Structure 1
Amino acid sequence: MRGSSAKSLDDTLTAVTAVPGAAAAQVGAELFGIVSALDTAVAARRVLTDPSTEAEGKRQLAAGIFEGKVAADTLTVLRSAVSGRWAAGRDLTDGLEIAGVAAYTRAADEAGQGDILENELFEAGRVIHDSDDLRRVVSDRSVPASARTTLLQDVFRGKVSDSTLALLSQAAVARTGSFERVLEAFSRQVAAREDRLVAVARVAYELDDTERERLTDALSRRYGRAIQLNTVVDPSVIGGISVSVGDEVVDATMSTRLEAARRRIAG
């Protein structure tokens, strides 16, 4: 987000940091519920983001709609959000979704499961990517969002933490892009809580602890940031390694080198 929306998002996330850790998961769930409600309430969303409407009027409208339906902590975050200036109506609901992710991340950290949340999101994403049937359903916009989220809950309930399951379910709604794109954005947001970058390494075999540490250190030096390293074993790599950090891909695999050589020979 840019401009006024970026400032409003910062203020909303600041409100989330004031939420007691024990209440954060409930706030996250309720913020996702508010997002769902406002996505379909176009008229209300328009008023809540109208720059000509006084902030107090927006706060009163938000309270009139949601007071008694959500916890006081959630209402405080919502009031902060609607008090801001958003460049577009969708920016408000997008910002509230980001705030929901932040609340669940806070809940995981409070429970000492922040790193678990990062790892589970990645591993669940790989499971879905590797299952043709599962990937097809969660990526199909013609399938109702409720059915997509129910499927993921059936598959992963009891196998991942509650926070992970909640973020997977919200990603399946696919409000701002494909499931995989939204899940990747959520994963980056979770990692960013400790100013870390997410790196995905495609390797020919599972790295041992020493190799993981060496690669993590090298990437940290290159990018000047702490790194959350996720690995994918890919037999097509043959040798070497391919690492993606955000939009940057460093491909040093043997298969890539052989293909480059083939092209040079072919002219």
Structure 2
Amino acid sequence: MRGLSRASLEEVTRRLDAVLTSTETATLGHELFEVVALLHGERSLRRWLVDQSRTPESKSGLIGSLLESKVSPATILVASDIVQAKWSTGRDMVDAAEQVAVFATVAGLAADQRLGELEDELFRFGRIVAAQPELRAALTNDAVGVGHKRALVENLLSGKVSAAALALVTEAVSRPRGRTLEQGLDHFGQLVAERAKRYIAVVRTAVPLSAPQQSKLQEVLTRVYGRAIHLNIEIAPEIVGGLSIRVGDEVIDGTVAGRIAEVRRRLAG
């Protein structure tokens, strides 16, 4: 998100922070995800709301009438802030609504350590799903009803992860917005990291890293990227040796398998 939309997102987030101090944040997060579903599902509504010839008051009035008696006043306030802001595209507006929904959902985990634990929970569940094709099929099959998927997530995770993790996994499963389940979990993890003002580095290694090695790697990556780094470590024996590190869209591949693959690509070219 850039330019006009980026500035609007920063302002909407700032206004959200003022609301979070005086409302039940779990409810707010849940209701904001319902707003996301409404905006995502109604193309004509999105187009009307991002039309800059419409007045902010008319946009606020419309979203208020659609949500009245269905959600809390706090949710209507945040939704009004979102639709009154200026967005380059309807997609940017929906993405912003999703981001503030995540921020509200995790607001009860203000401590840096607890946000880190949530990042770990989302990462671990993503790896569990990737390793169990039958479970993945049950959670992603379009023929399976949303209610059944939500119940399955509840049975799998209730009491085993934080309420915020349960809410975000349920959202990723039931309303993927065109993402795969793994992409959805990764996306939410990135937003949690954004809330904690750090980046996530997904580290693939053939053997476990010791605590000093992890600390050193965090130190180096923090220096390189200029921001605190949270490590998600995946043990992958197939890479033989070395490390593969992904931070956002950037991949640093220092594995033996990666170097062999590069040689093969050059020979083939």
User: TM-score scaled by structure 2?
Assistant: 0.87
Q: Secondary structure at the match of 2:69?
A: coil
Residue 11 (structure 2) pairs with residue 7 (structure 1): no
Output aligned runs, 1:63-142, within 5 Å: 63-109=64-110, 113-141=114-142
Output aligned runs, 1:18-97, within 5 Å: 18-21=18-21, 23-97=24-98
CA displacement 1:21-74 (0-9 Å, x = unmatched): 562221111100122233334444443333222111111122222133222221
Q: Secondary structure at the match of 2:182?
A: helix
CA displacement 1:223-259 (0-9 Å, x = unmatched): 2221101101111122222211122222222333455
Task: Go from structure 1 to structure 2 and tell me whether the alpha carbon gap of 1:12 and 1:261 turns closer, same or farther (over 3 Å shift).
Answer: closer
Q: How far apart in 2 are the matches of 1:37 and 1:110?
A: 31
1:249 corresponds to which letter in structure 2? V
Contact 2:116 2:230 in 1 (8 A): no
Q: How far apart in 1 are the matches of 2:184 and 2:155?
A: 20
Residue in 2 aligned with 1:238? Answer: 240
Contact 1:11 1:81 in 2 (8 A): no
CA displacement 1:94-149 (0-9 Å, x = unmatched): 32111101112222226972221111111111111111112233344454444444
Q: How far apart in 1 are the matches of 2:48 and 2:267?
A: 63
User: 219, 226, 229: which one pairs with 2:228?
Assistant: 226
119-128 vs 214-223, which deviates more? 214-223
Q: Secondary structure at the match of 1:220?
A: helix
Task: Go from structure 1 to structure 2 and tell me whether the alpha carbon gap of 1:202 and 1:58 turns closer, same or farther (over 3 Å shift).
Answer: same
Q: Secondary structure at the match of 1:70?
A: coil
Residue in 1 aligned with 2:252? Answer: 250
44-53 vs 74-83, which deviates more? 44-53
Q: How far apart in 2 are the matches of 1:62 and 1:261?
A: 56
Q: Secondary structure at the match of 1:51?
A: coil
2:234 corresponds to which letter in structure 1? V
Contact 2:115 2:196 in 1 (8 A): no
Task: Go from structure 1 to structure 2 and tell me whether the alpha carbon gap of 1:147 and 1:37 turns closer, same or farther (over 3 Å shift).
Answer: farther
Task: Go from structure 1 to structure 2 and tell me whether the alpha carbon gap of 1:120 and 1:63 turns closer, same or farther (over 3 Å shift).
Answer: same
Unaligned runs of 5+ in 1: none
User: TM-score scaled by structure 1?
Assistant: 0.88
CA displacement 1:73-106 (0-9 Å, x = unmatched): 2121111111112233343333211110111222
- How many residues of Structure 1 are paired with residues of Structure 2 in the alignment? 267
Q: How far apart in 2 are the matches of 1:96 and 1:231?
A: 30
Contact 2:202 2:246 in 1 (8 A): yes
CA displacement 1:135-188 (0-9 Å, x = unmatched): 233344454444444332332222111101111122221114222222212111
RMSD in angstroms over aligned alpha carbons? 2.6
Q: How far apart in 2 are the matches of 1:111 and 1:33?
A: 27
Unaligned runs of 5+ in 2: none
1:266 Cα shift?
9.6
Percent pairwise identity = 36
